[in-house]
Structure 1
Amino acid sequence: MDPVIIVGAGPVGLTLALALARQEVPSVVLDEGPGKDEQRLARTVVLREDTAALMERLTGVPLAEVGMRWAGWRSMRRRQVMREVTFGDAGEGGPDGAEAAPPVEFAPLHIAQHVLTNALRAALAHERLVKIAVDSRLDAIEQEPSGVSAHTRGPKGTWWRGSYLVGCDGPRSTVRKLQDIRFPGRTAVERYAVAALRAELPWPGRALLHRMPPWRTSGPSGGEITGRPLPDGVWRLDWLLPPGKDLVTPELLVARIRETLAGWTDGPTPSYELLDTGVHTVHHRLARRWRVGRVFIAGDAAHLLGALGTHGLDEGLRDADNLAWKLALAWHHGPHEALLDSYQTERRAVVAARLRNADQVLPLLRGSGSLRSYVPGTARGHDALLTDGHLGRGPLGAPGTYADSPLTPRYLEDPAPVHTAPGAPVTDVQVTAEDGSFVRLRDRLGRGALLVVLIAPGTGVWERKHWVTAGIMPRLAAAVTALPHPAELLVAESYPGAAAHTVLLVRPDGHLVTALNGVRPADLYAAAEATLGGTAKAPEEATAGTR
């Protein structure tokens, strides 16, 4: 078959190309630029745990070595510390007490966007299945039942033939416009002045949200500043600007830097080195359609979500992860229309929910009216909502689930209770692979295969040869072999909330399909069939050969 055409060589497009290559699907990436990225320390992204794991799996680069995993987070109002989080510590809290802290691996990863892009480009340089065509600007798309053609102009203008085409070409997406896809929403919801600088601050490695700093009395809620550390003593600082379109002059920005640093260090302005500046304008937009025949859109071409300044790209990378395994299955095994349609259904619903939450909650948190009639709780509770959003939790930041996906099995009785909801990303636990090696569960994702995980306490202390032919293993192995799609059988000592002999079915992108009580071949087959876009049969209707 013809390769997949990917329009746009930003992080989302490059991630999709690598994810397809890992599943033996060739692609052509149309890059309208020269194949290099401008170094901008004021353009950064915060990756949640599973998204960072995806990037490390694809690039082979330990991102903590080129980005910054935060040691903690501090929320302040005026001069009071409202909440403090220390990742991997015994607890978190403020003056009112402590609560259990997330494990250290849940610490958000903060990385400059050009560093992430360079890591993706370096990995693609060794990838035989990916061709990057630089100086290639798209200007026409033609679809046929058997494929799609794209025309590029420029020094290397030509026609490209592909099986599918994915527009990862940003907010002004040519692909979206050529397919006449509406992109409604709101423009200039909020604006931030941004500066990247090198300085010594009182809390090295810890991010900060400071609301109503005492040296500022104007602006929404008296002002809001976010400080996020990067490697080598670099910080990204964001100042929420008052409504309006007042020009952010260099003098204004320097004045804000100086007063902020002086306020945080309780003295004269400490020495600093200004490295980069910018103005980040938040837009909230959501494309009406994400698929038109063999053409798809992803990332900023499909949605603009920048409520907290650094999370929009994280959602775009999730788009690529969701779409890659579905395109790969269709590329290898023929069209699976319901499966391909589920990309729009799942991803658009998740992003729409985040946009809706941001549009409803943020104006109230930052307004000056009767907040409590709309957002229950004290000022501390309001700050907690913002903090959770920055940390990838709560209504403003938690990764979405696909519980209402058309791929969700509908007829399974008595599912096993575990701490992961159906459709949510699985917890990364140690598993035993089929060759007897110990690996992380997330290391087995992204290969196009379904994962079947048996929870079997005690297996970790015995050699695999002693238990692989004992108990329920032979029956489960036979059921996995009979599934309608290749699947890998893994064994885990434990999983949060799971009893012994629980069987988990996991999608190639790491989202839980279902958890079963014991080995139930018919239910496992029905769940796998539903995951591939087929109709989930009731257990008694499942293929008899799996019984």
Structure 2
Amino acid sequence: MDPVIVVGAGPVGLTLALALARQEVPTVVLDEGPGKDEPRPARSVVLREETAALLERLTGVALGEHGMRWAGWRSVRRRQVLSEIAFDAAEPAPLHIAQHFLTGFLRAAIAREPLVKVAVDSRVDAIEQERSGVTAHTRGPKGTWWRGSYLVGCDGPRSTVRKLQDIRFPGRTAVERHAVAALRAELPWEGRALLHRMPPWRSSGPSAGEVTARPLPDGVWRLDWLLPPGKDLVTPEMLLSRIRETLTGWSDGPSPAYDLLDTGVHTVHHRLARRWRAGRVFLAGDAAHLLGALGTQGLDEGLRDADNLAWKLAAAWHHGPHEALLDSYQTERRAVIAARLRAADQALPVLRGGGGLRQIVPGAARSHDALLTDGHLGRGPLGAPGTYGTSPLTPRDLEAAIPVDTPPGSPVTDVRVTAEDGSFVRLRDRLGRGALLVVLIAPGTGVWERKHWMSAGVMPRLAAAVTALPHPAELLVAESYPGAPAHSVLLVRPDGHLVTALSGVRPADLYAAAEAALGGAVRAEQQEEDEKGHKGRGDEGVEGQEEKQGAAAQAGSGAR
């Protein structure tokens, strides 16, 4: 079987390649650049807890040692403090990290991964598809044709892959503009991020704007100033003036000393590709969507694209294409991004001049401050992690289904679990391996030796049911889970979203839920082949039967 071709070596493309490799799928990454990233302290990203955990699993790096988990958040309007939040276990802090650090850790992990081949100075200029695969041509010093099973365009806002597939990319241009500076200075709010709206040292009106301060390690801060509408040039003199007046205003005295490290202008566009899939070609990250107004984080969403797509491509690569499962990538992820863009478009007139709050949340009186905080901290309609409750992969009409604190389609809570070898691990650590997770809630098992509880009670019956599932699955045991009664069973997707919770061990319902999570019923002949150990056979009625080619699956075999 040919490798998956990933076009683009930014954080999303590199994350997808590593996620596929962890599931034993070879990839070729086509990088149009030289394979190095320029250090830019002013180009940083804010990651939610689940996304940071995904990257830590893939890279083996504790990102918190290289970025900053904020101690708190403060929102100020003129001189009035509107809200203050202290982060704790109940509300984990976002992770703020320079993007070149993130990309460097991903590149280092890929250099150690034999299933990933990176081809630098390789710009795609042609893509051809047929029933059995996809071929891409690259130009450059090593221009050649590359053969793959699937191709994913992670090549940014001006995506060549998207253009070659003739996919429209409608939306709004220059929704917001920000002047950006990274500097080393001592600010009064050590370790806490600040959103300051209408600072008193600025004149009133549209130019009053707002400034955001986000801490990084070693006393470095990223400052973003919202610019008035228009295309006025951001000159060095104007930016230095903004820095001096802002630092002076915050210090209530002379302007403190600072060391300017980097500057830039960040322009936010809102766009959404009409399609995210064209046969064997997919889009992810900025190639599929652009967002970022009101503090929302586009890269975080792109990384979630990679997490969602990786396990589905891996299932198709190993077990044969299943169109409903592959189609669900667009259905799930595009709906989440569309909802976030709608929320931002509704909030923008209110927060940037005019409109009523009822346009955003009918019947509610949410403040401007709360809306902006949601965007910056990854909460509410502007920023909360997407859920897939209406996904076609959500099982329906299961007799034993019960509600828990996590609705179906939502990310699961990270709890301590016992693995089949008796070791204690975090539930989140078992994600991303391509297997479904079956979690039994069994209070008291944490103090028993594995040899006792594996053969006791419902465990033998549950273990047999897990073995019979239509997809590889791992059995875990947790002493508790929020809202789940004793002896309930949770089925979790490889990307950490809950499929369903069942009351007790119900093999028929568990099997039906697993089938639904894979996009529908598994063909009888495929089940028979799996039982014989021939897992390389595909679904003959969709894209044709293909055989895996053993050692030819090495990523280096992708060029011809």
Partners of 2:363 and 2:200 lie apart in 1 by: 23
Partner of 1:75: 75
2:333 aligned counterpart, secondary structure: helix
Q: CA deviation at 1:437?
A: 0.1
Q: Distance in 2 between matches of 1:189 and 1:379?
A: 25
1:385 alignment partner, one of 341, 348, 371? 371
State the Cα deviation string for residues 166-216 of structure 1 (Å, max 9, x = none).
Answer: 000000000000000000000001111111110000111100111111111
Instruction: Tell me if structure 1 keeps the 8 A contact 2:470–2:522.
Output: no
Matched, 1:506 2:492: yes
Is 1:132 aligned with 2:118? Answer: yes
306-315 or 34-43: which moved more?
A: 306-315
- Find the aligned partners of 1:176 and 1:406 in 2 and give their Cα distance: 25
Question: How do 1:373-452 residues align onto structure 2 when only pairs under 5 Å count?
Answer: 381-452=367-438
Closer, same or farther in 2 for the Cα pair 1:497/1:221, shift >3 Å?
farther
Amino acid at match of 1:135: D
In 2: Cα distance, 1:150 partner to 1:354 partner: 33
1:374 & 1:74 partners in 2: Cα distance?
23
Match of 1:347 among 309, 312, 333: 333
1:179 to 165, 168, 182: 165
* Conservation of the 8 A alpha-carbon contact between 1:71 and 1:206: yes
Cα offset, 1:218, TM superposition: 3.6
Determine helix, strand or coil for the equivalent of 1:523.
helix
Residue 487 of structure 1 and its aligned partner are, at CA, apart by 0.4
Note the C-alpha offset of 1:413.
2.7
Matched with 1:37 is 37
Q: Which residue of 2 aligns with 1:278?
A: 264
- How far 1:368 moved relative to its partner? 4.2
> After superposition, what is the alpha-carbon deviation per residue over 1:383-415, rounded to whole angstroms, capped at 9, x for unaligned?
012112211111110011001111110121352
> Any gaps of 5 or more consecutive residues in structure 2?
524-530, 532-560
Give the Cα separation in 2 of the matches to 1:369 and 1:298.
33
Q: Secondary structure at the match of 2:81?
A: strand
Taking a change above 3 Å as real, the CA distance of residues 359 and 373 of structure 1, as seen in their structure-2 partners, is closer
> How far, CA to CA, are the matches of 2:362 and 2:250 in structure 1?
30
Contact 2:128 2:135 in 1 (8 A): yes
Aligned equivalent of 1:362: 348
Are 1:153 and 2:139 matched, yes or no? yes
Find the counterpart in structure 2 of residue 85 from structure 1.
85
1:258 maps to what in 2? Answer: 244
**Contact 1:365-1:375 at 8 Å conserved across structures:** no
SS in 1 for 2:293: coil
**Structure 1: stretches of 5+ with no match in the other structure:** 89-101, 538-544
Distance 1:379 1:340 in 2: 40
Deviation at 1:418, TM superposition (A): 1.0
- What is the CA distance between 1:378 and its match in structure 2? 10
Partner of 2:553: none
Give the Å deviation of 1:381: 2.2
**Counterpart secondary structure, 1:120:** helix
Give the SS at the match of 2:367.
Answer: helix
2:90 aligned with 1:103: yes
Q: What TM-score, normalized to structure 1? A: 0.93
- In the alignment, which residue of structure 1 is the partner of 2:297? 311
Could you tell me whether the CA contact under 8 Å between 2:169 and 2:274 is conserved in 1? yes
From the superposition, tell whether residues 20 and 212 of structure 1 become closer, same or farther in structure 2 (CA, over 3 Å). same
Distance change >3 Å, CA 184–CA 372, structure 1 → 2 = closer
Higher RCO (CA 8 Å, separation ≥ 6 residues): 2
Q: Distance in 2 between matches of 1:380 and 1:215?
A: 27
The CA deviation string for residues 216-239 of structure 1, in whole angstroms up to 9 with x for no partner, is 124548321111001111001111
Number of equivalences: 524
Amino acid corresponding to residue 266 of structure 1 in structure 2: D
For 2:394, the aligned partner's letter is T
Identity %: 85
Change over 3 Å in CA distance of 1:378–1:298 after alignment to 2: closer
Following TM superposition, where does structure 1 have runs of at least 4 consecutive aligned residues deviating by more than 2 angstroms?
217-222, 368-381
1:309 Cα deviation after fit: 4.8
User: Per the alignment, do residues 158 and 374 of structure 1 end up closer, same or farther by CA in structure 2, a change over 3 Å counting?
Assistant: closer
Q: CA deviation at 1:23?
A: 0.5
- Rounded to whole Å, the distance in 2 between the matches of 1:45 and 1:169 is 18
Cα pair 1:221 1:366 within 8 Å, conserved: no
Output the aligned Cα RMSD: 1.8
2:543 aligns with: none
Structure 1 Cα separation of the partners of residues 20 and 417 of structure 2: 25
> Separation in 2 of the partners of 1:394 and 1:302?
22
Aligned amino acid, residue 162 of structure 1: G
The offset of 1:308, in angstroms, is 3.6
Query: 2:458 matched to 1:457?
Result: no
Quote the offset at 1:29 in angstroms: 0.3
SS at match of 2:106: helix
